[in-house]
Amino acid sequence: MKYSEYFIPTLRDVPAEAELVSHQLLLRAGFVRKLSAGVYTLLPLGWRVVQKIESVLRDEMDAIACAEMRMPTLHPREMLEETGRWNVDVVYKLQDRREAEFALGFTHEEVMTDIARRDMRSWRDLPRLLYQNQTKFRDEPRPRGGMIRTREFIMFDAYSFDRDEAGMDVSYQKLKGAYDNFFARIQLPVVTAEADGGAIGDLDNHEFMVLSESGEDTILLCPNCGYAANAERCTVLTPESVLSSAPASNGDKPLEMVSTPGARTIDEVAGLLGTSANNLVKTLIYVADGTPVAVLVRGDHEVNEIKLRRLLKAESLGLADSATVERITGAPVGFAGPVGVIGLRLIADNSLLTMRNFIAGANQADAHYVHVNLGRDFSPTEYADIRVAVAKDLCPSCRTEKLEDARGIEVGHIFKLGSKYSAPMGANYTEESGAAKPIQMGSYGIGITRLLAALIENSHDKDGIIWPVAVAPFSVIIVVTYIKDEALVKAGQELHDALRARGVDVLLDDRDERAGIKFKDADLIGIPVRVVIGKGLANGTVEIKVRKNSNSAREAPVAEAANTVVALLSDLS
C-alpha cells in the first residue's frame, strides 16, 4: 500500500475535545473521527486494527469450534418483552411504517436464545458454541473517554449452550481459555477479576480488565495469591473473632450531644470536631421496594448498594429523598443517627463491631452525638458486609495478604447465564429420558472498539501509538526519505513488493514530504517496524528500526532487508 494513495489524515495539534491519551492519539493519528457524542467513524487505519483484532479472535474461536453467525440489529419488541428487557433504559427504540416497534440491538442474548429454542431441541444438539460480532447500540447516559464508552460500538459476543451446569462450566472454561489466548496474542496484559453480573446474571462471571489510570472501575488485587475482583463485587473479610465476640464495654465514655451547626457531611463533622472520618458512623436511609431501612457504615467507607440489594433481596433500592429522611429521623439530611431510630430495620456494616466511642448524627438539626457505643446506646437489627471493599482490606481468597487497588478498563466480561434467558423464553431441549429441560447458557463478550482505546492506553509514548504486531494496521512502514531520488524510490518499491509477496502488511511512504514529517507520522501511527531508505543506500544499506525500541535502529544490507524484517516481525510477535 502506498501512503500517497491511502487515507491517513494526521493532526499536528491535540484536538481540544480529547482528554484521554488514547482518544488524542486515535484522533491525531487518523484512526477515528467523531460524528456525534459517542458515535465514531473508523477511518482506514482504525478499521484495519479492528479487523486484525477480529481475525485473531476468529482464529481462537475456530480452535474451540465456536461458529460465527450474523444476527439482526432490529429486535422486535415482543421478543424483548419475553425477558422483560424492552424497558431497559439504554435501549434505542423505533417504529416502522406500520408502527411495529423495534429496539436497536444492545446485546444479543434474546436473539441467540431464540435460535436455540428453535433449533436446539435434543440433547444430541448440545453442547454448542456460537458467536457474532456486530455493532451494538446503547443510549448511554454519558459517553466518555473517546472510544472507552460510546453509544454505538462493536462487540464480539460468544454464547454457549449446554445440557446442564457441569457442561456450562466446561464451556465457560473453554471460552475463558480462548480469551486468555487472545489477549496474550495481542500482547495486552489483562487481569481476570471476579465481577458483579448486574442484571445480566448473578452466577459466576469475570471481567477482563486492563489496568490503567483512565479506567472506569476500581480493581482490588492480592499480591500474594493473585486474587482479583472488581471493588463493587469484592467481599470484605471480617475475622471470626470480631464477628463472634460482643463489643467490649470497658473504657466507654458517656454519651454526649455536641453542637455541629451546618456540618452535614462526614468531612465537615470530622473537621469541626477535630477528628478523622474513621471515628464517625455514617447513617444512610435507603428505601428498598418502598420500605425505608437505615444503613450504618464507618465514615470513611462507602455503602455497596449491590451487596445491600442482595441482602435485602430488593427489586428497587435507592437513597431516600430528603422528605423521607426528615420524616423518619426528625432532622434535616446530614444529621441522621442510629441512636433513637425506632421501628426501622437497622443494618450495620461488620466494621462497626470494632468501633468504640464513635460519632454519629443526633437526629436533630445541627447536633451530633459523641462517644456513641454499640449495645449501650443502640443495637443494630443485624450486622453484615455491606460496604465497598478498599485497598488494605484482607484478601478474601488467601486471607493473609492485604489487597491493593488499581483502576481498570473493562475489555471483556464473561457470564454463566444458567437458564436466565432460556427459561423465560422456553428454550428447552429434550433429555434422553424424554424430559424437557432449559438449556444452560453462557455469554462471553469482548468490546472491540473499546479495545482500541485500551491497547493505546497500555502502549504509547510521547511520539505516538506503539501497536503490537498482531493488531497493527500495518506491520512495516517503508520510509523513502527523498522521492526525487529515483534509486531510493525504486529500492523502496522493491522492498515493498518483496514483503507483500511474503504476506507482510506493508505501507510505503512515498509522499513528497520531508523526511522529518514521515518519521513523525510513522511514530504517531505506531507501525511496529520502520525501514528507512535513505542515505545508506549509496553503501547498499537501509535502516531498520523497531518502534517500541528507540535505540534499535541499525543498518542492514538492502538485499537482506526483506529477510531481516520478516525475522524481526517474528521476534516481535
Partner RNA sequence: CGGGGCGUAGCGCAGUUGGUAGCGCGCGACGUUUGGGACGUUGAGGUCGCAGGUUCGAAUCCUGUCGCCCCGACCA
Kindly state whether residue 203 participates in binding RNA, applying the rule CB under 7 A: no
Residues 433-452 that bind RNA (CB under 7 A): none
The CA-CA-CA angle for residues 263, 266, 271, to 5°, reads 65
Kindly state whether residue 486 participates in binding RNA, applying the rule CB under 7 A: no
Query: What amino acid is encoded at 45 in this protein?
Result: L
Kindly state whether residue 519 participates in binding RNA, applying the rule CB under 7 A: yes
Kindly state whether residue 225 participates in binding RNA, applying the rule CB under 7 A: no
Structure-derived torsion over alpha carbons of residues 498, 500, 505, 511, reported in degrees to the nearest 10: 70
Residue 435 burial (10 A CB sphere; 0-12, 13-18, 19+): exposed
Q: Which of 63, 65, 67, 90 binds RNA (CB under 7 A)?
A: 90
Beta 382-384 vs 345-349: how paired, if at all?
A: parallel
Residue whose C-alpha is closest to residue 114's, from 62, 76, 60:
76
Residue 58 burial (10 A CB sphere; 0-12, 13-18, 19+): middle
Q: Which of 157, 162, 385, 521 binds RNA (CB under 7 A)?
A: 521
Shortest distance, position 66 Cβ to RNA, whole Å? 22
Q: Which stretch binds RNA (CB under 7 A): 45-53, 119-127, 145-153, 470-478?
A: 145-153
Q: Which of 127, 337, 380, 534 binds RNA (CB under 7 A)?
A: 534
Q: Which stretch binds RNA (CB under 7 A): 56-64, 417-425, 499-507, 511-519?
A: 511-519
Kindly state whether residue 34 participates in binding RNA, applying the rule CB under 7 A: yes
Kindly state whether residue 216 participates in binding RNA, applying the rule CB under 7 A: yes
Kindly state whether residue 490 participates in binding RNA, applying the rule CB under 7 A: no
Q: Which residue has the cell 500500500?
A: 1
Q: Which of 533, 565, 568, 572 binds RNA (CB under 7 A)?
A: 533
What are phi and psi for residue 103, nearest 5 degrees? Answer: -110, 145
Cell numbers placing 573: 510477535
Rounded to whole angstroms, the Cα distance separating 130 from 107 reads: 14
Kindly state whether residue 516 participates in binding RNA, applying the rule CB under 7 A: yes
Q: Which of 15, 72, 271, 375 binds RNA (CB under 7 A)?
A: 15
Kindly state whether residue 146 participates in binding RNA, applying the rule CB under 7 A: yes
By rule CB under 7 A, what string of x and - marks binding of each residue 162-201 to RNA?
Answer: ------------------------------------xxx-
E-assigned strand segments in 431-495: 436-438, 440-447, 460-461, 464-465, 476-480
What is the number of other CB atoms lying within 10 angstroms of the CB of residue 380? 19
Confirm if 392 and 437 have CB atoms less than 8 A apart.
no
Cell numbers placing 5: 494513495
Please work out the total of residues on this chain that contact RNA, with binding judged by CB under 7 A.
59
By rule CB under 7 A, what string of x and - marks binding of each residue 44-73 to RNA?
Answer: ------------------------------
Kindly state whether residue 495 participates in binding RNA, applying the rule CB under 7 A: no
Confirm if 269 and 368 have CB atoms less than 8 A apart.
yes
Residues 363-402 that bind RNA (CB under 7 A): none
Rounded to whole angstroms, the Cα distance separating 57 from 181 reads: 9
Residues that bind RNA (CB under 7 A): 10-17, 19-20, 23, 28, 34, 36-38, 84-85, 88-90, 106-107, 138, 140-146, 149, 198-200, 216, 305, 463, 481-482, 484, 514-517, 519-521, 523-524, 532-537, 543, 545, 553
